[in-house]
Structure 1
């Protein structure tokens, strides 16, 4: 098999989150001699534009819903046109559409990456039920599930997926993004934040599962003790307006800055003193890994893959989910103990460099592609 493996990745792409960055990092680090990557986005923006800018062969096929027949037909036609050896899907909508299109088009192999726990991504019970059965009914069409953390393999096996059909390939960080960061003072000047003000940052989409409300509750306690602390919220999402309302009603507007989506994420990590990750659920957080690579220590909840990255009291602090007081205490500890914070930051960087790089993630993924096409379907993570 001397020619590169042609792979069609299918994803919603209606936001820039961990799954979207995951694909962009794969595209950047796949060997062109090994993999020819094509991308199909089911929303017209913003992933499509970022992929094209990066040089990825990408197409948008807009689907208004999972049962958009016209949209599905276009995805099927695109699959037939590209003639991939593997269709690789990400997310419930893409899984349903991509698996069916691959089957009808006669694609040799279908792979699905699971980035998070499905039930935690859909707070509405009806949506959760519909998406659960969408996954359940088409799971058999996937030859191999890739999961980005060990705990997700356990979850899938509990749902009836055979262990030898699940491979663990940890998410990885593209360290090339973090070479030319601005000085800390440059970004703080842009935001109007004093260089000596302790700055807590939270980076991620505005979704209830990310736990923004717990940071707001923690901020109220922190500010009683240290009124110089400031809080930076980076990202966008449907829940942003509600969070802004809560901040305003609590009288915390002078202490919070919401930046929206930012491209200069490395500069953000180097400007903040501590990362807060109060999530109620996570897969394997790219935000967490990126901040650690930048020597920014984190306070993270003990959910999902977080404990696979953060070793409590060694390279960061781990707290229970949904506990605003524990979050406040941990953040204050790192704010007030700069030497401990520095030690955690150095250990955090070493953890990422040794175990969680995008290059390693891409190499393991392209090796799995080749193993699957060679028929060694008994290989697991």
Structure 2
């Protein structure tokens, strides 16, 4: 029997977002006979601790910037010590450092997973320009790209990446996380939300691209129709202070609740009546897939991979991005039509179980690893 393929994943790891959860789920579902996963984080927390708790062999190499030469040397040393067959990078910083260090160390295969559209992740033009050229100048050092949604393959091809170098492996969620959930009413009591109040939620990092401001605008319209509706904002991020200020200035403090980061996310999804995802850009949203697995009906914007998961009027509702009135109308529709919302939720769960599981994602990834090392 052949030995497992040793793969070193490199990622920033300064937050717990979709890319970080992606790696944790891969590690959980890889066959130990097929893949030996190691992890290098370029920030000291919080992914490192989560990974180590899960039993992953993880190391932190904190870097002050993308051009931290001492940090680069430490990553290079780690690659030489680890001797992976594949270096697998996630994110602009990890891509730059990991690709260069892998080639200097003599690693024959480098893989990059693209989780989102680069231009949409950086709000200011200078950052977009720097990161674009960081990717462009080191693209040739990557033997294979994995994209988590079909639309991302098209985006890479438009940037000049050969289609033969791109493999689509859809994100998947770990259905084992969503068992033994608590009763909806208990969590509402803990959060101070009335049992009969319609509850709309957003789950994710606070970043302009996530569209929190459009939910606030939609909320003003929804509350004119039903003043009992409450809005739950789950997560953290640099943009949270801005959103809190806007809500306060609009006089909506009594209708919005901020929870910060929550470990009991399955209980959150099952407590919501509707999930709102008013993003201006998305990759293939783990938040959306997790909520669908919990039978939480969703209203999403027609961006990124959202239309690859949510089929309008079949397992959720799709609205234009940046349109607060359309968002409000769709949310009101599901709040007022509980039977339709229930049917959407059941269809949503079936969609995830059939097409978007973490086990399926891991199997396809480890098969790709085997294909890549076969020719070495």
Band the TM-score falls in, shorter-chain normalisation: over 0.9
SS in 2 for 1:276: strand
1:198-277 equivalence runs, <5 A: 198-277=198-277
Q: Which residue of 2 aligns with 1:90?
A: 90
Tell me the alpha carbon deviations over residues 249-273 of structure 1, each in whole angstroms, 9 at most, x when there is no partner: 0000000000000010000000000
Whole-Å separation in 2 of the counterparts to 1:51 and 1:347 = 33
CA distance in 1, matches of 2:236, 2:161: 34
Give 1:195 shift.
Answer: 1.1
Asked if residue 304 in structure 1 is aligned to residue 310 in structure 2, the reply is no
Residue equivalent to 1:119: 119
Shift of 1:369: 0.3
TM-score (normalised: structure 2): 0.99
Structure 2 distance, partners of 1:203, 1:147, is: 23
Counterpart residue number, 1:313: 313
Displacement of 1:191 after TM fit? 0.3
Give distance in 2, aligned partners of 1:138 and 1:275. 38
Unaligned runs of 5+ in 2: none
Determine the structure 2 residue equivalent to 1:379: none
SS at match of 2:170: coil
Deviation at 1:374, TM superposition (A): 1.0
How far off is 1:181 after superposition?
A: 1.0
C-alpha distance in 2 between matches for 1:95 and 1:180: 38
1:375 deviates by: 2.5
Indicate the residue corresponding to 2:193 in structure 1.
Answer: 193
TM-score (norm 1): 0.98
CA distance in 2, matches of 1:27, 1:181: 23
Secondary structure of residue in 1 paired with 2:113:
strand
Q: Which residue of 1 aligns with 2:161?
A: 161
Distance 1:323 1:375 in 2: 50
Say yes or no: does 1:372 pair with 2:372: yes
Quote the Cα distance in structure 2 between the aligned partners of 1:341 and 1:13: 36
Q: Deviations over 1:44-69 (max 9, x none)?
A: 00000100000000000000100000
Q: Residues 221-244 of structure 1, C-alpha deviation per residue, up to 9 Å, x if partnerless?
A: 000000000000000000000000
1:22 corresponding residue in structure 2: 22
- In the alignment, the residues of structure 1 paired with residue 81 and residue 244 of structure 2 have an alpha-carbon distance, to the nearest angstrom, of 46
Match in the other structure for 2:3:
3
Q: Unpaired segments of 5 or more residues in structure 1?
A: 377-381
Helix, strand or coil at the partner of 2:300: strand
Task: Give the whole-Å Cα distance in 2 for the aligned partners of 1:11 and 1:292.
Answer: 27
Q: Distance in 2 between matches of 1:44 and 1:30?
A: 25
Cα separation, 2, equivalents of 1:117 and 1:180? 35
Runs of 4 or more off by more than 4 Å in structure 1? none
What is the alpha-carbon distance in structure 2 between the residues aligned to residue 45 and residue 243 of structure 1? 25
Q: Is the partner of 1:281 in helix, strand or coil?
A: coil
CA RMSD of aligned residues (A): 0.7
